[in-house]
Amino acid sequence: MEWRTVVVIVLVVSLCFFIVPIRVGPDKAVEEDAELFAKYVARYNKSYKNEPAEYNKRFEHFQKSLRHIKKLNGLRSSQESAYYGLTKFSDLSKDEFLQQTLLPDLPLRGQKHMIASYYHQHLTSSVNRVKRLTGIPSKFDWRDQKVVGPVASQESCGACWAFSTVGVAESMYAIKNGTLYSFSVQEMIDCMPGGNGCQGGDICSLLSWLSTSKTRITSETDYPLTLRADTCRLPKIAAKTSGVIVTDFTCDSFVDAETELLTQLVTHGPMAAAVNAISWQHYLGGVIQCQCDGSFNSLNHAVQIVGYDTAASIPHYIIKNSWGPSFGDKGYIYIAVGKNLCGKINEQAACNISR
């Protein structure tokens, strides 16, 4: 065999060794992603499992979510830091998550309240957002007082504004009267004048209407949740049911004044708050410390603040969400205190309630 032939054979064999890994590596990763996606679709019983075109579209979003989750987990600074993984939202693009789950127009809704008599802005030094706490405990959780209702799921209905406000009303009534009742979120969705039902709303507008009109918030039993906007049934059932009335409220901005917020939380009760939840798409647990813009123009969701823990290794707020108990930590999210994260925490709701 001539030496040229030997050289050609060696080169061809060598090229085979180089070519095979380059071609197989990505295919194997895609196969693993596909297997993981199939399990994901089955777990969450996704409706598109038998629709090839939609299935492939969702798979692409799912792969991007996997890469983003890896990046987020790479930013963890400790075992207590927020950690991320697959959720029921992981097959959505970031824009779809914003449009379908959150309230993109919340900043526009919120601007009109800044000139209202019930709006108060609390300002302290931005250098020291959380001053030394005096007169309040280092840890407080209203759930320990049995005045916080169970975590609800808004599903595809964009009524976080109603869930958070009604949740605070439930807590305020329980603090005052010693009994926790479930009030009607559906009444807010159907009956608020000028509201958009499942398409959006805001905390302060809802409270303003309830307080001015003296409209009673009825019980969940008398006006059950359907999670779709419908004709208001309150006139038909008003004579047959009792309820509570919001007698007074304020909407407060606590940006750069978190000590005041903590004090209000302890001395008054849980609060409804406007936040930026765009980074929560893949949240599983732990304390959010970064990747959560705190500007007013980024507000897009409403939640309840039910407590805090400043004695923890990462001081944090305890946030009750409305995406069901399977999301986050049994429906709850934790956000670091002292960093003005997630647009927090803008609005305090339902100060005084009577039956």
Catalytic site residue 204? no
Structure tokens at 118: 């019930």
In the chain, residues under CATH classification 3.90.70.10 are 94-354
Give me the half-sphere count of Cα atoms (radius 13 Å) on the Cβ side of residue 228: 2
DSSP state of 114: G
Q: What H or E segment, with its residue span, contains residue 165?
A: helix 160-177
Question: What is the 3-class SS of 175-197, one letter each residue?
Answer: HHHCCCCCECHHHHHHHCCCCCH
50 given a catalytic annotation:
no
pLDDT score at 349:
47
Angle of CA points 59, 63, 68, to nearest 5°: 145
CB atoms within 10 A of CB 31: 10
Q: Of these residues, 61, 113, 282, 301, which one is catalytic?
A: 301
pLDDT score at 256: 72
Give the Cα separation of 317 and 153 in Å (integer). 21
pLDDT at 118: 67
pLDDT at res. 29 = 86
Strand partners, 244: 217
Count the neighbouring beta carbons within 10 Å of the beta carbon of residue 75.
Answer: 12
- Specify the pairing of strand 217-218 against strand 332-336: unpaired
Contact 182, 220 (CB under 8 A): yes
- What pLDDT score does 123 carry? 52
| CB-based contacts of 337, cutoff 8 Å, min separation 6 | 130, 258, 262, 308, 310, 315, 316, 317
To 10 degrees, the CA torsion angle through 211, 184, 321, 207? -10
Given 198, 204, 276, 321, the catalytic residue: 321
Residue 124 has a pLDDT of 52
| pLDDT tens figures, 249-283 | 888 887 777 888 899 999 999 999 999 999 999 99
State the first-to-last Cα distance of the chain, in angstroms, to the nearest integer: 102
- Extract the residue ranges of the chain whose pLDDT is less than 50: 1, 3-24, 125-128, 344-352, 354-355
In the block, residue with structure tokens 């000028």: 194
Quote the pLDDT of residue 253. Answer: 80
Q: Chain-wide mean pLDDT for the chain?
A: 84
The pLDDT of residue 120 is: 57
- The tokens for 59 are 């798979």
**Residue from 61, 157, 160, 204 carrying the catalytic annotation:** 160
- CATH superfamily assigned to domain 94-354: Cysteine proteinases (3.90.70.10)
Q: Is 301 a catalytic residue?
A: yes
Cα 304 vs. chain centroid, distance in angstroms?
Answer: 9
At residue 339, the pLDDT reads 66
Residue 7: what pLDDT?
41
Residues 20/26, Cβ–Cβ less than 8 Å: no
Give pLDDT, residue 116: 67
